[in-house]
């Protein structure tokens, strides 16, 4: 009942102690198309669902290249993601110009979190309505970070965000132990199988894949490469599905003669 009175300004708390503007931004992430990030010791992979955004069938970019060692996948408002990606590119270029080396991934994500935090504290701003999964590789290895509109920054081994992403997170949790030692091809297949859990059954699975790692600059796979990995993922999933075994039937002769077949197993005393 108080929402209409307390949701016009991000600095105004509701009587329940909630910031509705921040909650709206988080809901925009939950309504966005699902995306998945996962990593091995040497590679970090981003896999995102692609859906046509207009009658012309044009898909907005779901994975954005930031630098040779960093890329992001998004869920939420694409315009906000474009602004943040421009900020990240500027930071990487400035750091490379000043120090002649790549921007450390952890420091880059920390600065991004600080930028998002400002929009949750000033009345003249609104929170960015986009969630991001950032994949990077530097001298410390492969990294996956989750960045949310509330300025929460989480270090992850694997993560999925967006609409219907609960099934993807369940798949990632069940297979987490395999990711660390997987090859580059296997981790891409795992990412496709995870994101397929978030795709509606009546829609064709269309994906975008980005990968970065050891001796591998950030790269967006072409449509031909994505189709090849899709076929590989479908084949692997068929092999992993165990055949259904018929239920065992009990022959009448196997029932002991001293048991009444009509008995319920409980004795009743009067």
User: How far is the C-alpha of 159 from the C-alpha of 194, rounded, in Å?
Assistant: 10
Q: Which fold has domain 17-239?
A: 3.60.20
Residue 46 has pLDDT above 80, yes or no: yes
- Express each pLDDT in 169-227 by its tens digit: 999 999 999 998 999 999 999 999 999 999 988 888 999 999 999 999 999 999 999 99
What is this structure's pTM?
0.83
Q: Where in the chain are the domains? A: 17-239
User: 66 φ, ψ to 5°?
Assistant: -105, -50
Residue 121 has pLDDT above 50, yes or no: yes
């Amino acid at each position: 009942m108080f929402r209409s009175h307390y949701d016009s300004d991000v600095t105004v708390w509701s009587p329940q102690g909630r910031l509705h503007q921040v909650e709206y931004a988080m809901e925009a992430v939950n309504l966005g198309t699902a995306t998945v990030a996962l990593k091995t010791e040497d590679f970090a992979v981003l896999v995102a669902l692609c859906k046509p955004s207009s009658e012309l069938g044009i898909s907005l970019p779901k994975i954005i290249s930031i630098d040779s060692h960093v890329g992001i996948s998004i869920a939420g408002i694409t315009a906000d993601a474009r602004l943040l990606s421009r900020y990240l590119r500027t930071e990487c270029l400035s750091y490379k110009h000043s120090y002649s080396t790549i921007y450390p991934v952890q420091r880059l994500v920390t600065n991004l979190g600080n930028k998002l935090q400002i929009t949750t504290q000033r009345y003249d701003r609104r929170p960015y309505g986009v969630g991001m999964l950032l994949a990077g590789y530097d001298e410390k290895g492969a990294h996956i970070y989750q960045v949310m509109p509330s300025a929460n920054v989480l270090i992850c081994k694997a993560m999925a965000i967006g609409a219907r992403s609960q099934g993807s997170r369940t798949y990632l949790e069940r297979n987490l132990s395999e990711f660390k030692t997987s090859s580059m091809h296997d981790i891409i297949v795992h990412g496709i199988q995870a994101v397929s859990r978030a795709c509606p059954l009546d829609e064709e699975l269309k994906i975008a894949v980005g990968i970065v790692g050891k001796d591998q600059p950030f790269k967006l796979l072409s449509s031909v490469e994505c189709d090849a990995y899709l076929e590989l993922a479908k084949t692997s999933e068929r092999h992993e599905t165990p055949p259904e075994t018929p239920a065992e039937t009990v022959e009448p002769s196997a029932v002991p003669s001293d048991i009444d077949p009509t008995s319920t197993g409980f004795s009743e005393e009067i």
